[in-house]
Structure 1
Amino acid sequence: MNGKLLVGGIVLSALAAGAVMWWAQLYAYYEEASFAPGEEIRLTPILGDAPEAIVANEVTGIDSGSSPLRFRACFTTPLSQAMLTETYRVYPDPTPLNAPPWFDCFDAERIDMALQKGEAIAFLSEHDIAPGVDRVVAVFPDGHAFAWHQLNAEEQ
C-alpha cells in the first residue's frame, strides 16, 4: 500500500510541476507592450542608422522582461509597400517566431509563408534593440503589419 501512495504522490507532483511550467511559459511572463512616445513602431531608413517612427494604427503587442525574443506586435499602417521599400531597409532573412496561442492576431506561419511568397515585405525596425537581437517589421499589401524580435546575424 505504501508503494502505491508513494508512486501516486510522485505522479501528482510531476503533473502539478508540468502544469505550472506550462502556465509559466504561456502566460506568466508576458505583459502588454507599451507604444508610448519614444517607443513607437520604427523603421531604419536606407540612408542613416537612426530608426524613425512610422504611422502605425491599432497597435497591440506583448513583451516580456524574461527574454527579448518574446516581443510581438500587430498593427496597421497606411504606408504602401512601394513607399516603404524606397525609404527603409529591407530585412534580409526574416523569421517570425511563434506567439503564445492566446495572442491570436500574430500568426507566425502565415507571416512566414507570405514573406517567402513575396506577398509581405520585412524591414529592419531596430538593429540590436537588445544585444544580438533585431526588431523586424513585416508589412502586407493591405497595410496589416507585424513586428517581432529575432537573433541577428552576429548571434547566429
Structure 2
Amino acid sequence: MGKVVVILLLATAILGGVGIWYTQTWAFWAPVEGPVTLTLAEGQDLMMLPASDVSAIRSASSPLGFRACFTHGLDTGALADTLPAERREGVAPTVAPGWFDCFDAAAIGALLEEGGARAYTAYPNVAYGVDRIVALAPDGRGWAWHELNDCGDRAYDGSPLGPACPDRETFTPLVEGSL
C-alpha cells in the first residue's frame, strides 16, 4: 500500500510540474497577428519606426506579456539626441519564453547598460499603467517590451494615483495595429 501512495504522489508532483512549466512557457503566449505598433512617442505625438522583419508575441494573461524583435534603418548615432521620444534610463527587459529566441533579455539588458543600445518610450499607456519600451541598437536591431510606468506602479501598490494618471473609467488601451 505504501508503494502505491508514493507512486501516486510522485506522479502527481511530476504532472503538476509539467503543467506549471507548460503554462509558463507555452499556454498563454501567442504570436501577434497583423501589424505591430512600433512608434516613438514624444508627448502626444507618435513617430512610426521604420521597422521590418518584425516578430512579436503577447501573453493573454498580462499586459506586461509583450515582446518583439525587429530591424530598423535608423542611424541611432546621428539621431541619439534628436529622436522625438523620451529616452528611458534604468529599464530592464523581462524574460521571454525560451522558444522566442530573438529576444534575449539578459543580452538586451547588457547592451542597454553598456550603452550599446538606447531605450525609448514607444507608446505611453499601451494598457493602463503600462508603457511600451523600444530599444534600438546601432547595428539595426531593435526590441520592444512592456513595462509598468509610474501610474502602473501606483495603481498596483495601492498608492494614490494623482492627476498625471489617466482616468481608469474612460481609459482606452491600444489595439494592436490600430495606428
Give, in angstroms, the shift of residue 35 of structure 1: 4.5
2:66 paired with 1:67 = no
Distance (whole Å) between structure 2 residues aligned to residue 35 and residue 138 of structure 1 = 21
Question: Number of paired residues?
Answer: 151
What SS does the aligned partner of 1:105 have? coil
Partners of 1:72 and 1:146 within 8 A in 2: yes
2:27 aligns to what? 28
2:92 aligns to what? 95
Partners of 1:35 and 1:41 within 8 A in 2: no
Distance (whole Å) between structure 2 residues aligned to residue 71 and residue 85 of structure 1 = 27
Partners of 1:125 and 1:134 within 8 A in 2: yes
What SS does the aligned partner of 1:155 have? helix
Give, in angstroms, the shift of residue 52 of structure 1: 2.7
Alignment of 1:2-81 (within 5 A): 2-36=1-35, 39-45=36-42, 48-81=43-76
2:149 paired with 1:144 = no
Distance (whole Å) between structure 2 residues aligned to residue 118 and residue 142 of structure 1 = 13
Distance (whole Å) between structure 1 residues aligned to residue 39 and residue 32 of structure 2 = 14
2:79 paired with 1:83 = yes
What SS does the aligned partner of 1:51 have? strand
Structure 2: gaps (5+ residues): 154-179
Q: TM-score with structure 2 length normalisation?
A: 0.79
Distance (whole Å) between structure 2 residues aligned to residue 64 and residue 104 of structure 1 = 16
Distance (whole Å) between structure 1 residues aligned to residue 18 and residue 127 of structure 2 = 31
Q: TM-score with structure 1 length normalisation?
A: 0.90
| Aligned alpha-carbon RMSD (Å) | 1.5
Q: Percent identity between the aligned chains?
A: 37
Distance (whole Å) between structure 2 residues aligned to residue 61 and residue 95 of structure 1 = 18
Give, in angstroms, the shift of residue 40 of structure 1: 2.4
Give, in angstroms, the shift of residue 65 of structure 1: 1.5
What SS does the aligned partner of 1:44 have? strand
2:131 aligns to what? 134
Distance (whole Å) between structure 2 residues aligned to residue 150 and residue 41 of structure 1 = 15
**Are residues 142 and 35 of structure 1, via their aligned partners in 2, closer, same or farther at CA, if it must alter by over 3 Å?**
farther
Structure 1: gaps (5+ residues): none
